[in-house]
Structure 1
Amino acid sequence: GSSESNPILNSSSNSNRSPRSIRCILRRVVPATPLKTTAMNGFEDWELRNEEGFVFKRVKRSRISDSGEASKPVEPELDPAVEERNRRMRKTRILVKLKRKYQSEMERWDILSNSFSAMQEKAARFQAEEREERLNASETTSSRDSEHGGEEDAPKTAASMLDELLSMAEAQEAIVKDVSNLCEVAENICRVEHEEEESLFDLAVWCSPRSLMASLCAD
Structure 2
Amino acid sequence: MEPPIPPSASGIEEDEEWELFNDDGFVYKRHKRSRISDAAEETSKPPDPELDPVVEERNRKIRKKRILVKLKRKYRSEIDQWEILSNSLNAIKEKADRFQTTQREERLNANATTSYPESCSVEGAREFGGGDASAPSSMLDGLLFMAEAQEAVINDVLKMCEVAENICRIEEEEKKQSFFDLPIWSSPTDLMTSLCAD
TM bracket, shorter-chain basis:
0.5 to 0.7
Tell me whether 1:130 sits opposite 2:103 in the alignment: yes
Match of 2:187 in 1: none
8 Å Cα contact 2:20/2:29 also seen in 1: yes
8 Å Cα contact 1:144/1:153 also seen in 2: no
Matches within 5 A, 1:101-120: 101-120=74-93
Match of 1:197 in 2: 175
Runs of 5+ unmatched residues, structure 1: 1-39, 59-70, 76-86, 207-219
The CA deviation at 1:134 is 1.1
* 1:203–1:96 distance in 2 versus 1, CA, 3 Å: closer
* 1:96–1:205 distance in 2 versus 1, CA, 3 Å: closer
Q: Which has the higher contact order (CA 8 A, sep 6+)?
A: 2
8 Å Cα contact 2:122/2:132 also seen in 1: no
Structure 1 distance, partners of 2:65, 2:115, is 68
Match of 2:115 in 1: 142
* 1:129–1:74 distance in 2 versus 1, CA, 3 Å: closer
| More off after superposition, 122-131 vs 146-155 | 146-155
The CA deviation at 1:126 is 0.7
Larger Rg belongs to:
1
Tell me whether 1:158 sits opposite 2:130 in the alignment: no
* 1:41–1:111 distance in 2 versus 1, CA, 3 Å: same
Matches within 5 A, 1:1-219: 46=20, 56-57=28-29, 72-73=51-52, 95-149=68-122, 151=125, 154-202=132-180
Runs of 4+ with >6 A deviation? 40-43, 89-93
SS in 2 for 1:154: coil
Aligned length: 140
Q: Deviations over 1:199-219 (max 9, x none)?
A: 23446779xxxxxxxxxxxxx
- The percent of aligned pairs where both chains have the same amino acid is 50
The CA deviation at 1:100 is 3.0
Instruction: Compute the RMSD of aligned alpha carbons.
Output: 4.0
Structure 1 distance, partners of 2:53, 2:153, is 68
Q: Which amino acid letter does the alignment assign opposite residue 85 of structure 2?
A: L
Structure 2 distance, partners of 1:205, 1:93, is 21
* 1:48–1:72 distance in 2 versus 1, CA, 3 Å: closer
Structure 2 distance, partners of 1:161, 1:197, is 54
Q: Which amino acid letter does the alignment assign opposite residue 163 of structure 2?
A: V
SS in 2 for 1:189: helix
Q: Deviations over 1:9-62 (max 9, x none)?
A: xxxxxxxxxxxxxxxxxxxxxxxxxxxxxxx9998x84689x9xx98337xxxx
Q: Which amino acid letter does the alignment assign opposite residue 122 of structure 1?
A: K
Runs of 5+ unmatched residues, structure 2: 1-14, 31-49, 55-60, 185-198
Structure 1 distance, partners of 2:117, 2:64, is 73
Match of 1:61 in 2: none
